Copies of this chain bind each other. A is one copy, B any other.
Amino acid sequence: MTEPAAAKRPAEHPEVFDTVSIVGTGALGGSVAGALRARGLARRIRGLDPQHAHIARDAGLIDEVCTGLPALLAGADLVVLAAPVSVNCALVAEPAMRTGLGAQACLTDVSSTKSSMVAAALAGLGERRGRFVASHPIAGSDRSGPGASRADLFDGRALLMCPTPECDADVVQRVESMWRALGARVAHMSPQHHDLLFAEVSHWPHAVAFALAASIGEGPRAEDARRYHGAGLRDTTRVGGSPAGLWAGILLDNREPVLAAAAAFRVELDRIESALRDGDRDALMQALARGERWRSAF
């Protein structure tokens, strides 16, 4: 994993794209649109999203609603895939993608998992495979839809790119400077490393938050728990209010790394629970301190 030396300074002359096409104009795709527009970096923005595109257009995030890939891709010099990861993977496998994508166009995505996305792009894009580079802005939210988009969403946030040897150099450079122009701090890592890391720092923690919320919400004190709790529960379970369908897709897409993160978590959970069951104060304190050490240094 490398963090380019220039990653932290803003691009001095960011490229202005003529036509940016975005698939999925929800919170993340809508934020890409809003951020490009706020900085004058796109002359025209098109969106494809059966659920959200009209809302995004009415909100002024995009200019034009497309209903199919050919119209979306025609003349686009930057295409951003911001649909759920399974949809993004299916899109790069469609013949209309490799025939419609211009030879000079840049294609990127904003999915939370990278190995399957990169594999799908390499397998599906044929002669255009060099035009794709994978991106993951670390700027998720438990809110969804274009109403949750923010033009400053990427400002100061980390953004991971996973270029492969197959990527054309100009694509990596142009997509990276686009993200930097939106304020992101860009770093590179392999898709495999990314997915192991994000299983641990995002995907499995989401599963834990869903399980914790369910264990209370399906229990006999659900109503009291809603009324009487502190900031601790609010924070610990916050991402457990995220869309279940979206997260089922992410967890399944990154299944093996997530199961490995689950196993590591269960080792620590067992350590705490057995010390508690045994009434062993020293062992319990040591088990808790393993987490405290890392987290209190944030």
Contacts and interface: CB of A to CB of B under 8 A. Distances in A.
Contact of A290 (B217, B247, B279): B217
A213 B292 contact: yes
A71 B28 CA distance: 61
A291 B230 contact: no
Interface stretch (A36-44, A52-60, A233-241): A233-241
Contacts of A17: none
Task: Decide if the interface of chain A is mainly helix, strand, loop or mixed.
Answer: helix
Contacts of A286: 244
A255 to B, nearest CB: 6
A293 interface: yes
B291 A240 contact: yes
Interface stretch (A92-100, A103-111, A162-170, A259-267): A259-267
Contact of A219 (B214, B264, B298): B264
Contacts of A276: 207, 251-252, 255, 258-259, 262
The 3 residue pairs across chains A and B that have the minimum distance between CB atoms: A217-B294, A213-B291, A210-B291
Contacts of A13: none
Contacts of A196: 221
